Amino acid sequence: MTRETILSNKPAPEDDDPHLRPMKMSEMIGQKEIIARLRIAIDAAKQRDEVLGHILFDGPPGLGKTTFAHCIPNELGVPVDLLSGPSLKAPKDLVPSLTNLRPKQVLFIDEIHRVPKAVEEYMYTAMEDFRIDLILGDGINARTHNFKLRPFTLIGATTRAGMLTQPLRDRFQIREHLDFYTLAQLGELVKRNAEKLKVAITEEAALEVASRSRSTPRIANNRLRWVRDYAQSRADGKISLSVAQDALKMAEIDDQGLDRLDRKYLDTLIRICMGGPTGIETIAATMNASVDTLADEIEPFLLRSEMILRTPRGRIATAKAFAHLNINPPTNSAFNNGGLFRDQE
């Protein structure tokens, strides 16, 4: 495992590690209400010997969308074909999957908000009537052939439900939003996965790893793998509280779960920009990072942990952020003289 893997919140290749991903809903942690609703839909479909309705999962990265897409076909006892939105550039990219469907199969499209318009429109009749138009032959010999598909279940996953068009969203019978996990749930996940990785971990150490994992299973798994590696090479292979703390300190992950880049962002906003309000472009240029990296990978967690505020006039560091960096808010900062509300004057 590289440092990048631990520090980045992006999916790591190891995330597809079949050891850690639950393959049945009964092995999943949390998300009880969603699982209960899905069970009812699955049971009913099985009893009627019908295909399960299309399902859309939305929510931030790393919370279990792909995991559900693996568990549901297993519960149904059907195969799954895994596709990703950005790889479907034209309708023809979808045709092989649609024409080779096995009975009641699941088709999973990850990042479905990134499917181009032409592909999306092609999906409408496939989803609704299980039919597609195939163009056979070239030039003047080309003929449109209406092809009947085997009924299937489409599972779509997206981190940006708002970017889906209404017609596409309406074609999903079941829509579920995944939320962040509690500390107790993540602690349980860390303990269970330590067992799968065959490494001993104490209760306090599991909670320590969980508390620095941003309420996100994928991050908890990444942190756990790093702590395990550390325990094997620097300690006796067992994860005690102090081993976990030392390992996370070495990876520069602090007690709030912030990593080096998060702290660099806060340092830029607080020390250089006096706490803001500062435009994201200015912060990005000062940090020598791209605006997209800040907006997609750094700010969501800082906003969620109430370290920064996003205002029409720029980003503002909160009192919590000043306290986290051990810096007193300067008296002339926007934060103290009501910069937040100046718009309304």
Ligand X SMILES: Nc1ncnc2c1ncn2[C@@H]1O[C@H](COP(=O)(O)OP(=O)(O)O)[C@@H](O)[C@H]1O
Residues with catalytic roles: 65-66, 110, 159, 218
Q: How close are the terminal C-alpha atoms of the chain, in Å?
A: 53
Q: What is the closest distance, in whole angstroms, from the C-beta atom of residue 32 to ligand X in the complex?
A: 10
Element (H, E) at 101: none
CA-wise closest residue to 226 among 256, 192, 207, 249: 249
Q: Which is nearer to Mg ion, 155 or 266 (CB)?
A: 155
Element (H, E) at 133: strand 131-136
Q: What is the closest distance, in whole angstroms, from the C-beta atom of residue 315 to Mg ion in the complex?
A: 28
Out of Mg ion, ligand X, none, what residue 164 binds, judged by CB under 5 to 8 A for its kind, is none
136: left (phi over 0), alpha (psi -120 to 50) or beta: beta
Residue whose C-beta lies closest to Mg ion: 66
Residue whose C-beta lies closest to ligand X: 64
- The stretch near ligand X (CB under 6 A) out of 90-98, 119-127, 217-225, 265-273 is 217-225
Q: What is the closest distance, in whole angstroms, from the C-beta atom of residue 68 to ligand X in the complex?
A: 7
Q: Is 187 in the site for ligand X (CB under 6 A)?
A: no
3-state helix, strand, coil in the chain (%, to 5): 50, 15, 35
DSSP state of 335: T
Q: Which is nearer to ligand X, 15 or 259 (CB)?
A: 15
Give the bridge partners for 175, in sequence order.
56
Task: Find where tokens 């032959």 sit.
Answer: 137
Q: What is the closest distance, in whole angstroms, from the C-beta atom of residue 191 to ligand X in the complex?
A: 12
Q: Which is nearer to Mg ion, 60 or 276 (CB)?
A: 60
Q: Is 66 in the site for Mg ion (CB under 5 A)?
A: yes
Q: Is 266 in the site for ligand X (CB under 6 A)?
A: no
Q: Is 221 in the site for Mg ion (CB under 5 A)?
A: no
DSSP state of 79: -
At 72, which amino acid appears? I
Give the interface with ligand X as residue ranges (CB under 6 A).
15, 20-22, 28-31, 61-67, 157, 189, 217-218, 221
